Amino acid sequence: MKPILGKFRSELKTVSRQMLNMRFIFVFICITGAAMMVVKHYRCPVVRNIQPVDTQIVKHLLRPAEAQNTSQFAKEEDTNKTHGASCHCPNPSSAPRHKKPPVLEQSPRNTVQSRRRTTMLEGCKQLGINYTGTLHESKIKPHMIYDQKSNLVFCDIPKVGSTFLKQVLHIVAGHHHEKDPFKMDGTAVHKTPFTTFNAIPYDQALKRLVHSVKFLFVRDPFSRMLSGYVDKLYTNNYIFWGVTGKKIVNTHRANASKLSLECGHDITFPEFIKHVIRSETSGKNRDPHWYPMYDACRPCSLEYDVIGKIETFKEDLKDFLTSQKLQHVVDISNMDQGNDNVAVTVTVNRAFEAVRERPKCILLPHALVRAWKVLQIRGVLSQLSEFPYDLIKKNPKITQARFLDIVVKEMKQKPLSQSEKLLSRQQAMIHAYSSVSSADLEKFTSVYHPDFSIFGYKKDIGEKDKRFLTWEPFKLQF
């Protein structure tokens, strides 16, 4: 009996050891399998286009350019390049997953957006990885508007339909209950607060940038700079005369008259371009209205989902609103007529206001001539519409309402199609830049080269149309 029991115990020990080994093997397989799944899920992807990763966006947005160029991210990117690719491995537990915005899939004009994004990415690649700009974060964050309701991030660039786009966003955000943006006061819209990245804590900024639809509108740098000059200095904008205008006279005009030094009211376009070049290259006296677009919005870091253009403004905005299912929230059908009405009202009002506030700087007849020419430059009045000199001489104290009636009557007598308005604006631009020296023109295109490259604009002003050869939109004489 004892030999049998001994044999049984021996076999039992053998079976127990085998079962124990199997359990170890089973546990090992489970652990190994789980580890492989984790590695597979979190393995570092190869990014063939060498694009910035989402977890680094805020670092580029919220840190000054000087710090960006020496950041750990930049150092890691240089050391991780393999066969033309870049590899970034953020902490899996903290890296938010990027949910691709629906705008590109839903848009009927997604080919246009795809082409613009490709141009942006290629332009950034040519300029260099991490190419941003020189503006400090304190100057950038106020331009970045976030609307939680629609989950949109908008980079606001002055002189690129900024006022109208803010009116649209106020409606989208529910701040205004009218569908028509023109039923909002254009001046008040800039004072009504938006949630900007100035008010968003650092730890929330990344999440909002990654999971929102980021969009901006851009403009041909030549056209944008002329718009800045016309709106801030050529028109009767006595506030800008007193600050920027006087500064330009003191810096760029030899033998300036006492009146010019005191008022800054008669700045020429070549003088303005010299000022812009100087301020942008020196970093002194910079103004948001002529910041380079890439510097204000950092497209090489944020890689915007949607890029609208002022040249196709209505189509791009309509397409964008549709892609976000907001076409029934905002009505932009009246945009063309609304823009003309606003231009007339604001331009005429500025003329009379400047005379009231700065009577030593400008007389009413001179202010009205400026207003007339500004409306021609903007394509509201025909270049063939002659200023009513005789009427103004007979009525030197003409009222604002009377002059407004004259302008509206002229618009009706010589209406312009959209193509004719565009031609007037183009010809005004050609006239303006033809007065700029070739040396300054070269400096200007160098300063704004990133804008031309990233957003796909040509460094070509164009040629004068024979129908506009005798037109002198920037000659002020009464």
Tokens of 340: 């003309």
Work out the burial of residue 423: count CB atoms within 10 Å of its CB; fewer than 13 is exposed, 13-18 middle, 19 or more buried.
middle
Of 320, 326, 327, 239, nearest to 287 by C-alpha is 239
Are 397 and 391 in contact by the 8 Å Cβ rule? The answer is no
CA 352 to each of CA 17, 108, 262, 335, 398: distance values in angstroms, whole numbers, following the listed order: 102, 46, 20, 26, 10
pLDDT of residue 103: 52
Which pLDDT does position 426 carry in this prediction? Answer: 96
How long, in residues, is the chain? 478
In the chain, helix, strand, coil percent, each to 5? 60, 5, 35
Residue 380: phi and psi, rounded to 5, are -90, -45
What tens digit of pLDDT does each residue of 355-395 get?
Answer: 999 999 999 999 999 999 999 999 999 999 999 999 999 99
Per-residue confidence (pLDDT) for residue 190, from 0 to 100: 72
For residue range 151-170, list pLDDT tens digits in order: 999 999 999 999 999 999 99
CA 476-347-309 angle, to 5 degrees, is 100
**Is-contact 81 40, C-beta < 8 A?**
no
**Pair type for strands 195-196 and 144-147:** antiparallel
Looking at residue 332, its pLDDT comes to: 96
Among 282, 283, 263, 264, smallest CA distance to 272 is for 264
Q: Which residue has the higher pLDDT, 363 or 191?
A: 363
pLDDT exceeds cutoff 50 at 135: yes
**What average pLDDT does this structure show over 394-417?**
96
Task: State residue 14's pLDDT score.
Answer: 52
Q: Report percent pLDDT > 70 for the chain.
A: 76
> Which tokens is 174 given?
């529910």
Which CA distances in Å does 224 have to 16, 157, 302?
84, 10, 22
Categorize the per-residue pLDDT at 131 as very low, low, confident or very high, splitting at 50, 70 and 90: low
Structure tokens at 361: 């700087």
Contact assessment for residue 52 and residue 130, using Cβ atoms and an 8 Å cutoff: yes
Helices in 198-292 by DSSP H: which ranges? 202-211, 221-229, 238-240, 246-252, 258-263, 269-282
Q: Specify the 3-state DSSP secondary structure of 155.
A: strand
Q: CA-CA distance, 129 to 125, in Å (whole number)?
A: 6
- Give the Å distances, CA to CA, from 37 to 28, 34, 40, 93: 14, 5, 5, 15
Per-residue DSSP letter, 144 = E
Higher pLDDT residue, 129 or 458?
A: 458
Residue 10: the pLDDT is: 54
Q: Indicate if the pLDDT at residue 415 is higher than 70.
A: yes
Give the pLDDT of residue 108.
52
Per residue in 228-242, pLDDT (tens digit) is 999 999 999 999 999
Return the pLDDT at 15: 43
Identify the CA nearest to 226 among candidates 474, 477, 452: 474
Angle (CA) 124-151-42 rounded to 5° is 65
For residue range 417-437, what is the model confidence (pLDDT) as tens digits?
999 999 999 999 999 999 999
* Confidence tier at 43 by pLDDT (50, 70, 90): very low
Q: According to the model, what pLDDT value does residue 466 have? A: 86
* pLDDT in the model for residue 278: 97
pLDDT at 51: 35
β-pairing, 213-218 with 306-309?
Answer: parallel
Give the strand pairing for 152-155 and 213-218. parallel
Cα–Cα distance for residue pair 376/41, rounded to 1 Å: 61
Closest C-alpha among 199, 182, 276 to residue 232: 276
Mean pLDDT for 41-52 is 33
pLDDT interval class at 128 (50, 70, 90):
confident
- Spell out a b/e string for 365-384, using b for 16 or more CB atoms within 10 Å of the CB, else e: bbbbbbbbbbbbbbbbbbbe
Domain locations in the chain as residue ranges? 54-71+100-219+294-323, 222-285+336-453+461-468
Residue 60: what pLDDT? Answer: 47
* Averaged pLDDT of the chain: 82
| Measured distance CA(21)–CA(15) in Å, rounded | 10
Range in 17-31, 159-173, 239-253 with the lowest mean pLDDT: 17-31
pLDDT level of residue 180 (50, 70, 90 thresholds): very high
Q: How many CB atoms lie within 10 A of CB 92?
A: 9
